[in-house]
Amino acid sequence: MSNTRIITALVAFVATFIFSAGLVRIIFPAPVVKYVYTERYTERPRAVERSSNDIESFLLRDISNGETRLDYTHTDDYADAVMKYWKTSSSMDASAFPQDFQSAWSKHMQAWGDYANYLQDRKASKNSSSNGGDKRYNAEINRTWEEVLRIGRTYGSNVR
C-alpha cells in the first residue's frame, strides 16, 4: 500500500512539474532571435533581435518620406518634391549603424542629390526633354537602393 502512495505522489509531482513548465513557456516565451551570417565567413554570426531592428525602422521612415513625392510625379512641382524628399531623407542620422550600411546609405543619398539637382537645373532651364538623364539617374538610384537593402538584410532588416 505504501508503494502505491509513493508512486501516485511521484506521478502527481511529475505531472505538476511538466504542467508548470509548460505554463512558464506560454507566459514567458523565448525571445525571437535571428542569426545573420556575414559575407566574411571568419566572423561570428551576429544576433539581431527582430522586434527592435533599427535599420528596418530607418528604411521604413525613408520610404515614408518618399511617398509624398509620388503625388507630384507628372506635375511641374516634381523637382521640388524630389528636392524636399532628398533633404529630408539625407538629414536622417545613420551614424549609429555599421560602417558598411552608412557608406551604402551615403551613396544612395548622393544619387538622390544628383537627381534632385538635375531636376532643378532642368526646371530652371525650362527644358522638358530629359535626353536620357532621367534613366541614368534612376538607374543609379535603383542600384544604390538595392545595395542599401542588401546590406540592411545582413543586419536583419526585412524591407523589400
Rounded Cα distance, 83 and 115, in Å: 9
Domain boundaries, the chain: 31-154
Rounded Cα distance, 66 and 112, in Å: 11
Residue 103 contacts by C-beta under 8 Å, 6 or more apart in sequence? none
Which residue would you say has higher pLDDT here, 32 or 26?
A: 26
For the whole prediction, is pTM greater than 0.85?
no
The helix (run of H) or strand (run of E) holding residue 33 is: strand 33-36
Residue 142 binned pLDDT confidence (cut-offs 50, 70, 90): very high
Residue 47 binned pLDDT confidence (cut-offs 50, 70, 90): low
Quickly count: other Cβ atoms within 10 Å of residue 120's Cβ.
14
Quickly count: other Cβ atoms within 10 Å of residue 117's Cβ.
15
The SS3 assignment for 41 reads coil
Place of cell 551614424: 95
Mean pLDDT in residue range 12-22: 89
Q: What is the pLDDT of residues 56-102, one digit of tens each?
A: 999 999 999 988 887 777 788 888 999 999 999 999 999 999 999 99
Instruction: Taking the CA atoms of 85, 88, 91 and 94 in sequence, report the sign of the dihedral they define.
Output: negative
Cell of 62: 525613408
Instruction: List, in sequence order, the alpha helices (H) in 91-156.
Output: 99-124, 133-154
Quickly count: other Cβ atoms within 10 Å of residue 93's Cβ.
7
